[in-house]
Amino acid sequence: MKTAVVTGGAGFLGSHLTDRLLGEGYQVIAIDNLLTGNRVNIEHLANEPRFSLIEQSIVDYLDVPGEVDVVYNMASPASPIDYLELPIQTMKVGSHGTHRALGLAKAKGARFLQASTSECYGDPLVHPQTEEYWGNVNPIGPRGVYDEAKRFAEAMTMAYHRVHKVDTKIVRIFNTYGPRMRLKDGRVVPAFVGQALRGDAITVFGDGSQTRSFCYCSDLIDGIFRLSQSDFHEPVNIGNPTELTIREFADRIVRLTGSASGVTYQPLPVDDPKQRRPDISRARKVLGWEPKVDLETGLRLTIDWFRTRVTQPALS
């Protein structure tokens, strides 16, 4: 049986990846310090003999028993309000933590996949974003802790590939949504869906003209799984190219939830990217991947999931 290590395995994407790997027949060892991850995301695996959780930070030495075929480095705070609240932890997990995870992959002779981000492109001056674009990041702004940690993680991953010949992959993840996001994690999908379901005003930041492109979690995980099986070492964008303004997105959520919520405007966070849409030509060509779940379908699934969390706060 193949063994995968998933750092951040109790997080939103880490737990979905864990489910996919178990479905593919892997044994999965999750490593998570539960800082922004949540035990609830993996509680359905309590009786799964092929799953185990090591509860620790990946900044500390990683002691994983036995053989490992692949390491997926998914650990990091990923919501702007989380990394603004946890700036030093965010930098440490992306730098020291990635170094540890790479060291583990090297020691075990395992493949390695780094979860990177569209934030590497910062407030992009090229649109849509191709992997060749080097980005427009403010290193000393409040978002810089996440963006630069992930850029460091990419550089370290390539260094381990070039120097130690580790079989590495880098995925640049664009905005992704779905069940298991925390209701209060501050990102736009849980924020708007929660507000709409409660009948509260929808908090649009800025004038709402900034754009994003939202990918449903199962599509994202499929892209990550395919990339991890490939022989490709350069970064690959995985995201859904359907782009809309945040104002349009608010209207969409109100309509799909059947809510009577209005919109209230709040200041735009510092360095909030004005536009974001992945160019997925590389993923199409190298992985034969493209998203399958359209926004309407994905949002309905997500809203259904959040509806139970809004009415039963103990679950979230």
**Which residues are at the interface with ligand UDP (CB under 6 A)?**
80, 175, 187-188, 191, 203-205, 210, 212, 246, 268-269, 272
Closer to ligand UDP by Cβ: residue 226 or 276: 276
Please choose, from the candidates 126, 212, 229, 230, the residue with its C-alpha nearest in 3D space to the C-alpha of residue 173: 212
Q: In the annotation, is 177 catalytic?
A: no
Q: At its nearest, how many Å lie between ligand UDP and the CB of residue 11?
A: 15
Q: At its nearest, how many Å lie between ligand UDP and the CB of residue 263?
A: 10
Strands 51-54 and 27-31: parallel
The whole-angstrom separation of Cα 288 and Cα 299 is 24
Catalytic residue among 72, 121, 146, 177: 146
Q: At its nearest, how many Å lie between ligand UDP and the CB of residue 186?
A: 6
When computed from its CA atoms, the radius of gyration of the chain, rounded to whole angstroms, is 19
> Which ranges in the chain belong to alpha helices (H)?
12-23, 80-85, 87-92, 98-108, 144-164, 188-198, 217-229, 246-257, 281-287, 295-311
Q: At its nearest, how many Å lie between ligand UDP and the CB of residue 310?
A: 15
> Which tokens belong to 267?
């200041």
The whole-angstrom separation of Cα 19 and Cα 42 is 9
Closer to ligand UDP by Cβ: residue 37 or 194: 194
- Find all residues with CB under 8 Å of 297, minimum gap 6, and list them: 216
Q: At its nearest, how many Å lie between ligand UDP and the CB of residue 4?
A: 27
Of how many residues is the chain composed? Answer: 316
Please choose, from the candidates 281, 216, 274, the residue with its C-alpha nearest in 3D space to the C-alpha of residue 245: 274
Closer to ligand UDP by Cβ: residue 87 or 269: 269
For the beta sheet containing 27-31, the strands, ordered from the edge strand earlier in sequence to the opposite edge, are: 51-54, 27-31, 3-7, 70-73, 111-117, 168-173, 235-238
Question: What angle, rounded to 10 degrees, do the helices at 246-257 and 188-198 form?
Answer: 40
Please choose, from the candidates 77, 64, 58, the residue with its C-alpha nearest in 3D space to the C-alpha of residue 29: 64
> Which tokens belong to 253?
């959520």
Please choose, from the candidates 272, 52, 25, the residue with its C-alpha nearest in 3D space to the C-alpha of residue 142: 272
Closer to ligand UDP by Cβ: residue 114 or 210: 210
Q: At its nearest, how many Å lie between ligand UDP and the CB of residue 118?
A: 8
Closer to ligand UDP by Cβ: residue 187 or 309: 187
Q: What positions carry a catalytic annotation?
A: 146
